[in-house]
Amino acid sequence: MKLKNIALSALTIAIATGCATADQQPQHQWVQDKEYNLTILHTNDNHGNFWQNKYGERGMAARATLINDIRAEVKSEGGSVLLLSGGDINTGVPESDLQDAEPDFIGMSMIGYDAMTLGNHEFDNSLDVLAKQAGWANFPFISANIYKDGERMFDAYKIFNKDGIKIAVIGLTTEDTAEIGNPEFISELEFRDPKVEAKKLIAELKATENPDVIIAATHMGHYLNGDNGSNAPGDVQLARYLNEGDLDMIVGGHSQEPVCMEGAEYANFKPGQSCTPDVQNGTYIVQAHEWGKYVGRADYTFKNGEFTLASYNLIPVNLKKKVKNADGKKVRVFIQDEITQDPAVLATLKPFQEKGQDALNIKIGDANGLLQGDRDVVRNNQTNLGRLIATAHMQRAKADFGIMNSGGVRASIEAGDITYKDVLTVQPFGNIVTYVDMTGSEVMDYLNVVATKQKDSGAFAQFAGISMTVASGQISNVVIKGKAIDLAKSYRFTIPSFNAAGGDGYPKITEHAAFVNTGYVDAEVLKEYIEANSPLNVADFEPKNAMLYK
């Protein structure tokens, strides 16, 4: 573990616990004409889901049972297992966020992960927190393309020996982290092109380690036919960039897809159905959706240097579906047989869950309808929740209008009672509300960058107190507080500290003479607004035709 220049004491622990694996640096010893069985298990984008949800779905205790059962099955048949994570352990569930994801890393350590690549959300907190997390983990963090002071910050790869088969697992992290990571914490880091780093590293591995199998654990995203839109290039581009046969498998994350293909398109995959991985340039690409909903299982055979996929499945972790019972009422039932929760993992994680619950299950208000924050909606449309958040920030700062990046809206809020947990689920990042005073002319320049951000990305902006037309990459018809913008007049607007510092590719305004960091945490501002204005009438926050996109 090479977390350089982070917290020294935490780093010492990380080195002691994260790198002392018994099966590093082996020499391959497989036997000619003998067939070996190797099972690759994988998860990704955990986002704080160490505990089962309110319906009894998911959770690391059930995941542990499932994985241990697979290990026992494979071992009884003479095979071996490798367990990998595609990253993003952090951010998304308040009980985890409040405790720096300690229960998640402890749970993963108990389950027995072999390695994890770094996701962009591993940089939501300070590097001191990341070093602390490395100390909680008894498995290595790997990434070949993150640099600090010109040197790799983490180990680029790990070598594993499974029944004499020498396996190299390399780690790669999306270069988008430079934009979507918190600029306050990553300003000294460099996220290099993972494709270039992978090609160079694979050549080095072949020359020095001569592995039998090379697997990339990535956090780059899967995009159909390499069409990544406004995102950095992902796993498809990676596989195509390399020489055919360079890479046997990509265990991915980031785009949070169940990568199950039907020809060149995504299959209409449902939990419990069969799943066919993508294949690009001779490389299998897999991803297990998100939140520990599934454990991906790839069963391979290895014979005389040939690594062949025999079967692949996404195994649901106690997922349920709605069915009608005898009375005609809809009830939730397990899609597959219930997986019992591992007693040791459950007992270890329960105090963390209880500690979080005590602080979170407090009613702070209510709403008469759904406040829409679902990822696929809020990143493509103005929504009532996006406007509510921007309004809360705007009012706290006594601003003329508010801007909120859609990537900072992480969930919807259902109709009815609203708890502190709901608010922290929506806004888990702990950003600070900031504002700046600009002339109308400066505002136009700023909006021509921010309001034209591509849809289906976290950079897509939500607005309150302002309307405009967006067409052909330009804005027009800007109206603030019911009046057309005056280019000579001064206006105040709010923006999350993440974006003020240049996150999501927004213009950096922290050095503007009229920039102010209020010190108010975004979730606390939203909480207080809901408390002061409940019951919320969701119709009051409907965007209607305020933003016209042509």
Q: Which residues are catalytic?
A: 45, 47, 88, 120-121, 124, 219, 254, 256, 375, 379, 410
Per-residue CA distances from 533 to 357, 370, 372, 529, 536 (Å): 25, 16, 18, 6, 6
Per-residue CA distances from 226 to 213, 237, 457 (Å): 24, 5, 16
Residue 469: strand pairing partners:
476, 548
4's tokens: 């350089």
Helix axes 343-360 and 60-76, enclosed angle (nearest 10): 160
Contact 63, 20 (CB under 8 A): no
Residue with tokens 């993992």, as numbered in its chain: 345
- CA nearest to 462, candidates 528, 533, 521, 526: 526
The C-alpha atoms of residue 347 and residue 357 are separated, in whole angstroms, by 16
End-to-end CA gap in the chain: 50
- CA nearest to 462, candidates 539, 360, 389: 389
Neighbours of 54 (CB within 10 A): 6
Residue 115: strand pairing partners:
84
309's tokens: 């996929």
The helix/strand/coil state of 460 is coil
510's tokens: 């922290």
Pairing of strands 294-303, 416-419: unpaired
The helix/strand/coil state of 140 is coil
Tell me if the bond preceding 535 is cis, omega within 30° of 0. yes
DSSP 72-141: HHHHHTT-EEEEEE-S--SSS-HHHHTTTTHHHHHHHHHHT--EEEPPGGGGSS-HHHHHHHHHH-SS-E
The C-alpha atoms of residue 309 and residue 193 are separated, in whole angstroms, by 29
419's tokens: 């708890």
